[in-house]
């Protein structure tokens, strides 16, 4: 998995590890308890876990009129060492007073990086995985600043959204991406952008990330990191699945390589929206969104979060894949330098997937959430 901690948090020896749990909506309420059970199972490899139950999400909003209670934010800021977030059922239509709690949490806690490893499980332990890449997604800007307007003009309704890219945010996500690339065997970083069209916003992102190795004080630290670039296309997943690669399909050429040649990628760094789409689509390379973990990371806090959504179609059926949440817990612990515990969790998950006896329906299996969890626990 994600073997080396990035910009590790240095912490004094703890008697306990206070972990905020925010299951939120949908299957989040089914998979976060699985992650909790696995964290508990690693025993003395981490300080005694002390779990803090917190609320947020669409269901919270429908009950209270608030999607992210201030009490939840304050508990995370003042009482917790780290956190796990489940999934949120944000409506696709505008709802007055509602705003996504996960987007808000990333900003309030300054969790400026979303790190999403996409790694397949090799047929045999010790073999190199066929897919081994990490998407480093800027987490606070781009279109996710949610500054939108709707007016009526001469052409009827006109909707506009502001896109924010700053030098500061681009620089620090670039620094984190370079640190991660440097820590990995291939030491290769690909900058994802569309600056051939969005020359100002994506141009600033591209130029700022490329300039990281020449920042004052870097002094050749990243001289062994190879830098590459790729243009992004928002329709890449659909077209990669249904169209042959044609020279005249200029809109989809660049990142079709992600699906046809995933081995060329190592670490990919992208603005918020691109990183979100790329990493979700890349899940097809390993079989399911139910396998893909992430951490939302800042300089002083880390929050694990499975990449999948709230999956209302399977909510309550007991068949949600808990592996993304379990892997997210391992990533969170690794960020906190509890490497041994994280390794135990990752190896246990690898064994379960490799054996193939206990897999949920998204992986063509027939097992329940609890059966997969018990299989993982038996390997720890």
For residues 280 and 296, state if they share a domain.
no
| Beta bridge partner(s), residue 303 | 83, 296
For residues 167 and 258, state if they share a domain.
yes
Is 168 part of a structural domain of the chain?
A: yes
User: Which pLDDT belongs to residue 144?
Assistant: 85
For residues 147 and 262, state if they share a domain.
yes
User: Which pLDDT belongs to residue 255?
Assistant: 52
* Chain centre to alpha carbon of residue 24: 17
pTM of the model: 0.88
Closest CA to 184 of 281, 265, 288, 254: 265
Provide the 3-class DSSP secondary structure of residue 349. helix
For residues 28 and 151, state if they share a domain.
no
Is 123 part of a structural domain of the chain?
A: no
Contact yes or no for 324/316 (Cβ under 8 A): no
User: Which pLDDT belongs to residue 199?
Assistant: 92
For residues 150 and 67, state if they share a domain.
no
Contact yes or no for 274/282 (Cβ under 8 A): no
User: Which pLDDT belongs to residue 252?
Assistant: 46
Where residue 365 sits, what CATH number does that domain have? 3.40.718.10
For residues 181 and 279, state if they share a domain.
yes
User: Which pLDDT belongs to residue 245?
Assistant: 41
Q: What is the DSSP string of 104-116?
A: HHHHHTT--EEEE
For residues 277 and 297, state if they share a domain.
no
* Count of the separate structural domains present in the chain: 2
Closest CA to 73 of 89, 59, 56: 56
Q: How many residues does the chain have?
A: 380
Is 125 part of a structural domain of the chain?
A: no
For residues 90 and 158, state if they share a domain.
no
For residues 180 and 308, state if they share a domain.
no
For residues 280 and 320, state if they share a domain.
no
Q: Single out the residue in 259, 285, 311 at which a domain terminates.
A: 285
Domain that holds residue 253: 132-285
Q: What is the mean pLDDT of each run of 10 residues along the chain (380 residues)?
A: 42 81 98 98 96 98 97 97 96 89 94 95 90 94 88 92 95 97 95 90 96 94 93 50 40 55 87 89 86 95 96 96 98 96 97 97 97 98
Provide the 3-class DSSP secondary structure of residue 190. strand
| Beta bridge partner(s), residue 208 | none
For residues 142 and 281, state if they share a domain.
yes
Q: Single out the residue in 285, 307, 329 at which a domain terminates.
A: 285
């Amino acid at each position: 998995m994600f073997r080396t901690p990035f910009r590790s948090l240095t912490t004094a020896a703890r008697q306990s590890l206070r972990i905020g749990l925010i299951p939120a909506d949908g299957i989040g309420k089914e998979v976060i308890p699985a992650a909790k059970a696995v964290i508990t199972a690693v025993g003395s490899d981490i300080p005694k876990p002390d779990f803090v139950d917190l609320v947020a999400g669409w269901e919270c909003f429908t009950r209270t009129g608030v999607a992210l209670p201030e009490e939840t934010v304050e508990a995370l800021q003042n009482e917790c060492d780290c956190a796990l977030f489940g999934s949120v059922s944000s409506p696709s239509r505008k709802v007055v007073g509602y705003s996504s709690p996960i987007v808000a949490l990333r900003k309030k806690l300054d969790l400026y990086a979303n790190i999403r490893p996409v790694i397949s499980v090799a047929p045999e332990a010790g073999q190199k995985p066929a897919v081994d890449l990490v998407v480093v997604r800027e987490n606070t800007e781009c279109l996710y600043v949610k500054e939108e307007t709707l007016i009526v003009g001469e052409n009827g309704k006109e909707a506009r959204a502001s896109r924010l890219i700053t030098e500061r945010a681009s620089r620090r996500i670039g620094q984190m991406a370079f640190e991660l690339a440097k820590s990995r065997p291939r030491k290769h970083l690909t900058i994802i952008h569309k600056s051939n069209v969005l020359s100002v916003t994506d141009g600033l992102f591209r130029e700022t990330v490329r300039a990281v190795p020449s920042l004052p004080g870097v002094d050749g630290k990243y001289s062994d990191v190879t830098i590459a670039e790729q243009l992004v296309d928002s329709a890449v997943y659909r077209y990669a699945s249904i169209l042959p690669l044609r020279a005249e399909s200029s809109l989809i050429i660049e990142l079709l390589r992600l699906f046809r040649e995933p081995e060329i990628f190592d670490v990919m760094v992208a603005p918020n929206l691109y990183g979100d789409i790329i990493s979700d689509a890349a899940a097809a390379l390993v079989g399911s969104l139910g396998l893909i973990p992430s951490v939302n990371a800042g300089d002083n806090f880390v929050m694990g979060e499975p990449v999948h959504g709230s999956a209302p179609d399977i909510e309550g059926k007991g068949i949600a894949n808990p592996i993304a949440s379990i892997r997210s817990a391992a990533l969170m612990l690794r960020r906190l330098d509890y490497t041994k515990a994280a390794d135990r969790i990752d190896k246990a998950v690898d064994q379960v997937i490799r054996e193939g006896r206990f897999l949920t329906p998204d992986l063509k299996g027939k097992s329940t959430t609890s059966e997969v969890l018990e299989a993982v626990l038996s390997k720890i």
